[in-house]
Amino acid sequence: MIAIQAYMTVRPEKREEFIKNVTEVIEASRKEEGNISYMLTTKVENENEFVMLEEWKDQAAIEAHNTSAHFQKFAGSAKEFLAAPLDVKHYQA
């Protein structure tokens, strides 16, 4: 299994739009072959800091996810939501 943590700081004025868009990605990603879990959390001390927690069966599942239409759509618009660069960490479990 491969775990991914994607840290995102969202512009306060874009928070609601971000949540709407990311919710669509979460719902579609959970249906993908090879997805074990896919959820979004927010930090208690800053409601505009989010962490996407993902678990995937293998690298092939991640590659399929990264090329999916819903992920590509979100990735293409992410820059307008983010106040800082995306910070992604991968872990082999």
Domains of the chain, by residue range, sit at 2-92
Q: What is the pTM of this model?
A: 0.91
- Residue 93 pLDDT: 84
pLDDT digits (tens, 9 = 90+) for 4-59: 999 999 999 999 999 999 999 999 999 999 999 999 999 999 999 999 999 999 99
For residue 26, the surrounding DSSP H or E stretch is: helix 15-30
* CATH topology (fold) of 2-92: Alpha-Beta Plaits (3.30.70)
Give residue for tokens 């910070």. 87
Q: C-alpha 22: how far from its chain's center? A: 7
pLDDT digits (tens, 9 = 90+) for 49-85: 999 999 999 999 999 999 999 999 999 998 899 999 9
Find out whether 30 and 82 touch, Cβ atoms under 8 Å: no
Cα dihedral across residues 33, 17, 9, 45: positive or negative = negative
> Partners of 7 in the beta sheet?
51, 87
